[in-house]
Amino acid sequence: MLLAIDIGNSTIKFGIFSGSELIHKFSIPTVLDYDPDELMFERFRYVKERFIRIDTVVASSVVPSIEPVLTGACKEFLNVTPVFVTNVVDLGLTIKYDPPESLGTDRLVSGFSAAETHGKPVVVCSFGTATTIDAISSNGEFLGGVIFPGVGTMSHSLQLKTSKLPLVQISKPDRVVGTSTESSIRSGIFHGHIGAAKYLIKSIAAEMKDEPKIVATGGYAKMMASELAVIEIVDENLLLNGLRMIHERIV
């Protein structure tokens, strides 16, 4: 069996594949000072006990400090050395980013996965700690994209950078006009994000001179897609499936 791991800024996601089927997944918060025992706490021990054998571990990471800890934990608990996907692996995409090695592996893997699963051209909207919107052309070129703070990051930034504004959990508000400080923040962040994403998706598609499919992924994808009619597909497992396909490609 294959274990795919997506190490993000806020969450570490684990997916277990039997062939091409995702049979189990779970996640834990990203904590920079994990040690191997904490990283592989009860949920990961469950993996060892429940599944016959993890033969391979493939990972994507945007948090380099966790990579040695994960490597040690995989060796200790699974007797497997993880393979980390880099942004120089040949995925059949022409990287137009400058320089190419500065492209985050999460964006590369998601773009590859969207192109393989949903076809080209495609625009990939990832709503997480950061919101990224990336373009892959009909010729298989990773053209680049945009990066801006995710809804949770916006909320945390307001609380950190002001003396009186509270931290607000962002959800879809019932109305635009807020009637309290909390509801005003919630509405501003939610509807502001919707407006920004709508404009950027439209502008990116226009620059591509194509009619791309619009795919959303990430922790806030369903919430955002509920107000973004332009989004055609919500694929919650886009990156995990991309790691599986990359493993199949390079083995």
Catalytic residue set: 106
Q: What share of the chain is helix, strand, coil (3-state, %, to 5)?
A: 40, 25, 35
SS3 145: strand
Q: Say how far apart CA 107 and CA 133 lie, in whole Å.
A: 9
Q: Say how far apart CA 251 and CA 248 lie, in whole Å.
A: 6
- The candidate with the shortest Cα–Cα distance to 13, out of 225, 153, 155, 219, is 219
Compute the radius of gyration of the chain from its Cα atoms: 19
Please name the helix (run of DSSP H) or strand (run of DSSP E) that holds residue 60, with its range, or none.
Answer: strand 56-61
| Residue 224 CA: distances (Å) to CA of 10, 26, 31 | 18, 22, 26
Cβ atoms 228, 197 nearer than 8 A: yes
Q: Say how far apart CA 155 and CA 170 lie, in whole Å.
A: 8
Q: Say how far apart CA 24 and CA 42 lie, in whole Å.
A: 15
